[in-house]
Amino acid sequence: MPSYRSQTAAKLARALEIASEEAERLDLEAQTLRVFMDVIMNPDTAIFRVAERLDISGAAASRNADYLGGGSIRRPGLGWVLVEPDPLDRRYKRVRLSDKGTQVAKRLLGAIE
């Protein structure tokens, strides 16, 4: 019977495999995938907090959140997150999973369970 550690390692390997397949299919950069995973783990968070946790610039976090969301004039987004002004301080933006993003997250996290 496999040990708990080997079972966990196998589940994590499968989740990484799914994430890698999704990233390759969509031509996602690793940083974009990291931002998405951070939003999964920290729902309804400020973009500057994502930047702090991932040790990337605020501009990089914002650019990746935009691509994960609605996109920009130059590049359509994936629709996985919603980027909205912070209701308490409109200088900041908050990011959370969309319905589509929740489905992607469930697929990724389902491999771990």
**Domain count across the chain:** 1
23 CB burial (10 A radius; 0-12, 13-18, 19+): middle
Structural domain of 78? 4-110
* Strand partners for 76: 71
pLDDT tens digits for 40-96?
999 899 999 999 999 999 999 999 999 999 988 888 899 999 999 999 988 899 999
Q: Do the beta carbons of residue 105 and residue 3 sit within 8 Å?
A: no
Q: Which residues contact 19 (CB under 8 A, 6 or more apart)?
A: 33, 37, 108
- pLDDT confidence tier of residue 107, bands split at 50, 70 and 90: confident
Domain holding 69: CATH number? 1.10.10.10
